[in-house]
Structure 1
Amino acid sequence: MPDARRRIPRTDVLLRDLRLLDAADRIGPERVKSAVRQAQQQAREGIVKPEGVVDAAIALLPRTVSGLQPVINATGVLLHTNLGRAPLSAAARRAVQEAAGPTDVELDLETGTRARRGRTALAALCARVQAAAAVHVVNNGAAALVLAATALAVGKEIVVSRGEMVEIGDGFRLPDLLVSTGARLREVGTTNRTTAEDYARAIGPETAFILKVHPSNFRITGFTRAAAVAELAPLGVPVVADIGSGLPAPHPLLPEEPDARTQLEAGAALVTASGDKLLGGPQCGLVLGREDLVRTMARHPLARALRVDKMTLAALEATLTGPPTPTEQALGADPGELYRRAERLAGMVRADGIDAQAVRSRATVGGGGAPGVTLPSAALSLPEPYAAALRRGRVPVVGRLDGGRCLLDLAAVPADDDQRLTEAVRSVRAEER
């Protein structure tokens, strides 16, 4: 019998396969060559047949150009921090692609002279929050607050309630961030009760501004009191309101969530927020408010280090001017339609012998938005082992465990992804066989 190893195709022959040529264009020729060599070695060791080397090489290729893998968010958390918070709209994704090459980000094409960076995105933000006299954009919400403290309060005092000295995640604490800028914190009130009089007694010649922080990732209930921006605005110093989740205007489903328009109309001198939460845009930090304060921040040397790139500006503008974002659509989803989708999906996979049920569930906003608020939703209920298997699938699906079952909540899953979700579940069943 001839040695089967002699039938292993040469590397140059394999690399002419159309599927591998396409992969080389997508992820680079060196990665493809490496996968081909590994597949050839598997053939030499008898792990794969010589005629299966191309398929083996393709299976060894990384799924994406970068290490980041697209996933289906079936957790029931609309803005899941570990999954990148708000998914971009189709309009924002197209804007990112268009901005990837050379653009007029700082050039006036009419005159050929330098222009204001991101002018159209800033104009769109002003139009969206008309209560703001001026706006600025930095690379995340924490950066917006750090820039405010650095530009306005170095060597001075920031008056803040003890009940609003929050930890924003991953061990980063608001007091540490602010003190790192060179500002001093003047704590007032208690954990559960702080009045306008507490702030008034603390204000003095060294006061730069009052900081009002929305405790976005926890709730204190019972014997509580917090001074509103409208109570603090007349005290004679600027009020900076950090609303966190970036809601531009009141939302009927989130009546207790602070929004930029209301805070500015109540007298806040500045509002800082994140762009990748309830606004539904890319990661960025929004600064909105008084023109003199925004200008001071925008011209501070630190602003250069915190500025956003052209693709973020493009995505932000498309988010502000384009159709409803996936986040807006998820917030406004009809619970009845979600349940009907879950029933359809359950019926489809049950036909393959999978123990699947449609169940009603509760979703949350997440990302530090609307703590304690739940939204009616529906989910596909599967056996518990499916949770781990789906995460490791070719198209990773991230669900949640509840009562010994794997729930794939549809609140944050676009209907367009139902087919991919079904195929992912079926692939787990196929592997079980």
Structure 2
Amino acid sequence: MARVGPGAGEVTGTGTMDTQTQQLMRRVPSVDAILKEPELEGLAVQYGRKPVADAVREAVATIRQELLAQPPWRGRPALASRGHPGLACPDEGIGDLVAPSNRGHELAPAQAGDTHDTQGQDALATDEAEIRDRIVTGAKEQIEAVMRPFYRRAVNATGIILHTGLGRAVLPAAALAQIQQTLGSYSLLQVDRQTGKRSRRDERIEWLLQRLTGAEAATVVNNNAAATAIVLNTVAKGKEVIVSRGQLVEIGGSFRLPDVMAFSGARLVEVGTTNKTHPRDYENAFTENTAAILRVHPSNYKIQGFSAEVPLDEMAAIAHRHNLVMIDDVGAGALLDFSQFGFEPEPMLADSIRQGADLVTCSADKLIGASQGGLVLGRKSLIEAVRKNQFARIVRVGKLTLAVLEATLKLFLDESLALREVPTLRMLRRSAAEIREHAERLAAQIREKDVAAAVATTSGFSEMGSGSLPAQNLATTLVAITPQRIGVDVLAQRLRRHETPVFARIQNDQVLLDPRTLRDGDDEIVIQAVAAALAASE
């Protein structure tokens, strides 16, 4: 019988590596040798040699650590399928990086009467190829995981049309085409074709907004918070701005209007109460240091019941009687009447201009359906002052934003075209019958996969999201999934971790899918993701 003890091959108390482990370690290929594998050579051409080499080094290091951690060779598994923790990528959903063909592969334990040396030699003879395969597989999966786009496609099955976490508005096809054309080459960004001299990069956006809203002038910055800040800094730095207490909003990320005002250099003067503000509250707040009145549309909350606010045209009249600037922050920014979708009337940019606002600000990526941006419209002299503000350089937008915004705004020159081509508006226009038929079809296709869950349809509500049209919902039909072997939280997480992430809602111990926000091609992804998530072991 084989002797067990120092000299028999195990690690001694002094930390000496056992002989068989030393022999096995010598069979771990070098980084250079692994890089010559055809699969990795191809990846090196695609992604560059350095990131591929880094992935190989991590894979080699992980294998060495596994071998060193093994107990004496007799009866131990050859590279047990524990994955490559050292190769984990900070991208949710990558999961175990061990190739499926290698999972669960173990050497049979030594039988009674086997000699330690014979078992070890047999294992050493068969493991060199496996070690190489494991390194190649680990490196390949690591580099592909690292190089896979983080900002990539996801499926929005939540029914939240403007989902901030999922990128808010889906861009129109016209905007995508203009991105391809404009950013794939040099472009007319800030040059006059007639003179060859430098021009304003917002000229085209101004032209479109003038026609869409009736404003004298307009410009664009990188978001509505920046638009509000630069407007206040331009007209009221070091001076007072009057605001109703009921409009001191907090937007996403804990950014509060009083903080934005403080950053701009304007001094906040609160008037009225949370639920009621009257004209006299504004009249009584004026001092010789007052520069403007600011109205903030409560786009992300709603005060109902015993409440009152001063209409914009009346506020503007008060401001102009005192030679003050009337600023209207409309938030979500509507270019058409949203009551046609069943919502309560939302302030339209053209209405704000018509009712006397001197400066109007709003987001471009909410109800307009473009990419992130902040629009500033109003009197020409004030817009020129905003452009000359040194802060304008800090919040200036680039050619990507301008290209998307131009293409999207052009669609609104004909409302019927916007309703047909802007995805945000198309989702709002979907009929109850269309959504119900979609939900029933999707539920039936999921049931055909023989999943371990009850799948049915139920009535529910979609919402606008991103602080737009608060406390207002649209009736919809949902696909309701009640898993039988796993919890709803586990199912929802597995859907998010799918190769193309699928985001759903959880309510009443069910995972809910809303067809309203599903795009072309999303159904197949959802069906595959649900089937895979429910088929996986607990």
| TM-score, normalisation: structure 1 | 0.90
Aligned partner of 2:161: which letter? L
Q: How far apart in 1 are the matches of 2:200 and 2:168?
A: 29
**Which residue in 2 is equivalent to 1:392?**
497
Give the one of 150, 164, 167 matched to 2:233.
150
Give the one of 335, 350, 373 matched to 1:261.
350
Rg larger in 1 or in 2? 2
Q: 1:110 to 1:83 in 2, by over 3 A?
A: same
Q: Any conservation in 2 of the 1:75–1:408 contact (CA below 8 Å)?
A: yes
**Which residue in 1 is equivalent to 2:212?**
128
Structure 1 position 206 matched with structure 2 position 289? yes
Give the one of 303, 322, 327 matched to 1:240.
327
- Give, in angstroms, the shift of residue 277 of structure 1: 0.7
Compare relative contact order (CA 8 Å, sep 6+) and give the higher one, 1 or 2.
Answer: 1
Q: Give the match's secondary structure for 1:62.
A: helix
RMSD of aligned Cα (Å): 2.6
For residues 147-186 of structure 1, give each alpha carbon's deviation from its aligned partner in whole angstroms, at most 9, with x where no partner exists: 0110000121111101111111222110111022221111
Q: Give the match's secondary structure for 2:276.
A: coil
- Give, in angstroms, the shift of residue 73 of structure 1: 1.5
**Which residue in 1 is equivalent to 2:508?**
403
- Give, in angstroms, the shift of residue 336 of structure 1: 1.7
Give the one of 405, 409, 413 matched to 1:320.
409
Q: How far apart in 1 are the matches of 2:531 and 2:46?
A: 26
Q: 1:125 to 1:186 in 2, by over 3 A?
A: same
Aligned partner of 1:358: which letter? T
Aligned partner of 1:365: which letter? M
Q: Give the match's secondary structure for 2:516.
A: coil
Question: How many residue pairs end up in the alignment?
Answer: 427
Give the one of 74, 82, 99 matched to 2:182.
99
Q: Any conservation in 1 of the 2:40–2:52 contact (CA below 8 Å)?
A: no
The range that moved more, 33-42 or 390-399, is: 33-42
- Give, in angstroms, the shift of residue 23 of structure 1: 4.8
Structure 1 position 79 matched with structure 2 position 162? yes
Aligned partner of 2:303: which letter? I
| TM-score, normalisation: structure 2 | 0.74
- Give, in angstroms, the shift of residue 205 of structure 1: 2.8
**Which residue in 2 is equivalent to 1:374?**
473
Give the one of 350, 363, 384 matched to 2:447.
350
Give the one of 288, 294, 297 matched to 2:386.
297
Q: 1:255 to 1:151 in 2, by over 3 A?
A: same
Q: Any conservation in 1 of the 2:202–2:219 contact (CA below 8 Å)?
A: no
Q: Any conservation in 2 of the 1:121–1:314 contact (CA below 8 Å)?
A: no
Give the one of 268, 277, 283 matched to 1:194.
277
- Give, in angstroms, the shift of residue 230 of structure 1: 1.2
For residues 385-423 of structure 1, give each alpha carbon's deviation from its aligned partner in whole angstroms, at most 9, with x where no partner exists: 321111112111111111001112222221332222222
Give the one of 392, 396, 413 matched to 1:307.
396
Aligned partner of 2:334: which letter? L
**Which residue in 1 is equivalent to 2:526?**
421
Q: Any conservation in 2 of the 1:363–1:377 contact (CA below 8 Å)?
A: yes
Calculate percent identity across the aligned residue pairs: 36
Aligned partner of 1:249: which letter? L
- Give, in angstroms, the shift of residue 51 of structure 1: 5.2
Q: 1:148 to 1:344 in 2, by over 3 A?
A: same
The range that moved more, 240-249 or 421-430, is: 421-430
Structure 1 gap segments, 5+ residues each: none
For residues 80-100 of structure 1, give each alpha carbon's deviation from its aligned partner in whole angstroms, at most 9, with x where no partner exists: 122222122232233233333
Q: How far apart in 2 are the matches of 1:145 and 1:114?
A: 27
Aligned partner of 2:253: which letter? D
**Which residue in 2 is equivalent to 1:11?**
35
Structure 1 position 137 matched with structure 2 position 161? no
Q: Any conservation in 1 of the 2:172–2:422 contact (CA below 8 Å)?
A: yes
Q: Any conservation in 1 of the 2:35–2:41 contact (CA below 8 Å)?
A: no
Q: Give the match's secondary structure for 2:292.
A: strand
Aligned partner of 2:332: which letter? S
**Which residue in 2 is equivalent to 1:111?**
195
Q: How far apart in 2 are the matches of 1:326 and 1:428?
A: 29
Q: Give the match's secondary structure for 2:464.
A: strand
Q: Give the match's secondary structure for 1:239.
A: strand
Structure 2 gap segments, 5+ residues each: 1-22, 67-78, 82-101, 103-129, 412-417
Q: How far apart in 2 are the matches of 1:315 and 1:32?
A: 35
